[in-house]
Amino acid sequence: MTFANAIHRLHPKKIRVSTVLIYLLLIAIAAYTLFPLAFLFVNSFKGQAAIVSSPLKLPDIWDVAYLENSMKAIHFMSSLGVTAGITLISVFVQVVASSLVAWMMVRNKSKWSFALFMAFTAAMLIPFQSVMYPLISMFDAMKLKNIPGLIIMYGGFGLSISVFLYHGFMKSVPRSIEEAALIDGASVFQIYLYVVMPLLKSTTVTVIILNGMWIWNDYLLPFLVIGNEPVKTLTLELYYAKLTSGQYGNPWEMIFPAVLISIIPIILVFLLLQKYIMKGVTASAVKE
């Protein structure tokens, strides 16, 4: 940007034309990016016939009946609660387990600690598909093919990347503060809670966002674990709604509002926390 500014001072006219062009291009791409979302919004207030015959037109009447129907069809309040619950607890488990193990691995320079770190890192290469069938069958045998089991699975799958992030950042945290706290008589949990974790706040935010986004939107794991049980996550409700409605020739008047209400919570959270989310997601990628 400073480069552009520098040239700007040298050739003010030339830059102005190209700047206008860049803005026009960016606006066009932004319109393209937003189009499917605007499209979704507009068509969530129309009946099947109007959606198919004139999907690009605004609705004649903004009828919320379709939204209400869809909310009922995907059991919105219950599935929202279930999804939020699963996401929150899983992320909490991931944060606690991965920060503790990363802390201990950084502070202990033994062979074991190195081997453990290598194991966590290598596990990032394992795709979910190559463990899913044995995992589900094991958990089924332990009577854990249910929501608590699902949370344990998320706890395990988000671990590698979270440990990796905490491990990378923990190295820059001086141990002298912990020593001082110990001499002052703090217990190990006090040191963890009041000394270590506050210094790792930004990493924690990244871990929460990264895992939270993934768990919230995940389709495969809930599909395998919960399937078509009465209590489902939002994504799963959406999948089954599409599946059953597809049998009667795709009633989009049900699908569009259902998709809309299922993404509204995420968009709200994003608009509230966009600074942290965009920073967190990029930071995590750069660490890899």
Partner 1 sequence: MEKFYKKWFLPLALPAILLFVGVILIPFLVGVLYSFTGWRGAYFVGGGKNPFEAFVGISNYVKALHSEKFMNALVYTLKYTLIATVWINAVGLCLALLVNKISRGAGLFRTVFFMPNLLGGLALGFIWSFIFEIVYSKFVFGVDGLIHIPFLTNMTQDNTKALFALVILVSWQMGGYMMMIFVNGLNGISQDLYEAARIDGANAFQVFRNITVPMLMPAFTITFFLTLANSFKLLDQNIALTDGNFGTRMLATQILRTTRDTNPPDYGMAQAEAVIFFVMIALVTLLQVYLTKRKEIEA
Which positions from 171 through 200 interact with partner 1, judged by CB under 8 A? 175, 178-179, 182, 188, 192
Pick one of 11, 14, 16, 55: the residue that binds partner 1 (CB under 8 A): 55
Pick one of 71, 80, 91, 135: the residue that binds partner 1 (CB under 8 A): 135
Q: Determine the distance from the C-alpha atom of residue 231 to the mean position of all C-alpha atoms in its chain, rounded to a whole number.
A: 21
Amino acid found at 288: E
- Is position 118 an interface residue for partner 1 (rule: CB under 8 A)? no
Pick one of 169, 238, 253, 257: the residue that binds partner 1 (CB under 8 A): 238
| Shortest reach from residue 259's CB to partner 1, in Å | 5
- Is position 84 an interface residue for partner 1 (rule: CB under 8 A)? no
Amino acid found at 239: Y
Determine how many CB atoms are found less than 10 A away from the CB of residue 165: 24
CA dihedral 41, 42, 44, 49 (to 10 degrees): -150
Instruction: Count residues near partner 1 (CB under 8 A).
Output: 95
Instruction: Considering only residues 17 through 36, tell me which ones interact with partner 1, judged by CB under 8 A.
Output: 19, 22-23, 25-26, 29-30, 32-34, 36
Residue 31, phi then psi, degrees to nearest 5: -65, -40
Q: Is 105 helix (H, G, I), strand (E, B) or coil?
A: helix
Smaller CB distance to partner 1: residue 137 or 228? 137
Which among 224, 210, 204, 205 is positioned nearest to 103, based on CA atoms?
A: 204
> Are the beta carbons of 42 and 59 closer than 8 angstroms?
yes
Smaller CB distance to partner 1: residue 36 or 230? 36
Amino acid found at 266: I
Mask: binding to partner 1, 252-271, rule CB under 8 A, as x and -? Answer: x--xx--x--xx--xx--x-
